[in-house]
């Protein structure tokens, strides 16, 4: 794991005054993030959010990523993987058409990840708003079917659930 992956995963996170928090249902994924962050020399801690909620949090100092910018091709790939593991989508129902997508409220940010994918020779659909009446500031694009295998081989996933569904379909 590197800082680019963590930066991508923070698309499912919250920035507090002094810390960053990433929240997920899958403890295994939160533990993977904690171990990765600690392997990079940063303290990170895990806790369950609320006594009755099945949500787990990894939290670490905001200064950990201060000044870091994605620059190399490998960092772009790792950033995409972290972004997908946090805010990407994958079909889980075998009765529906298989799909991979990225979604985000920050349009500029979504354009950047799409650009990185296209630099890796992956074909992507157009960025669109799936429902202006539901949320006019929510954006999404799909990875095209012809790029599924390439996506799985180059980007892949470290998220335990998404990794399983990515492997099953490709």
Residues 7-54 pLDDT 10s: 999 987 888 999 999 998 889 999 999 999 999 999 999 999 877 788
> What's the distance, CA 16 to chain centroid?
19
Given a cut of 80, whether residue 55 has pLDDT beyond it is: yes
Is-contact 103 138, C-beta < 8 A? yes
| Domains of the chain, earliest start first | 3-65 (3.10.28.10), 73-169 (3.10.28.10)
pTM above 0.75, yes or no: yes
CA distances from 145 to 107, 120, 133, 139 (A): 23, 15, 28, 19
Mean pLDDT estimate for the chain: 91
């Amino acid at each position: 794991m590197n800082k680019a992956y963590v930066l991508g995963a923070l698309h499912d996170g919250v920035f507090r005054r002094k810390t960053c928090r990433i929240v997920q249902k899958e403890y295994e994924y939160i533990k993977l993030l904690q171990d990765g962050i600690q392997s990079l020399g940063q303290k990170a801690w895990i806790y369950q959010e609320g006594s009755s909620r099945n949500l787990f949090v990894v939290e670490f100092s905001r200064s950990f990523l201060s000044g870091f910018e994605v620059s190399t091709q490998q960092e772009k790939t790792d950033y995409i993987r972290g972004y997908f593991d946090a805010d990407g989508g994958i079909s889980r129902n075998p009765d529906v058409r298989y799909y991979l997508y990225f979604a985000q409220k920050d349009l500029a940010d979504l354009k950047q990840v799409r650009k990185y994918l296209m630099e890796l020779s992956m074909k992507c659909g157009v960025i669109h708003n799936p429902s202006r009446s539901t949320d006019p500031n929510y954006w999404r694009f799909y990875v095209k079917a012809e790029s599924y295998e390439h996506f799985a081989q180059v980007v892949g996933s470290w998220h335990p659930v998404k990794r399983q569904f990515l492997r099953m379909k490709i």
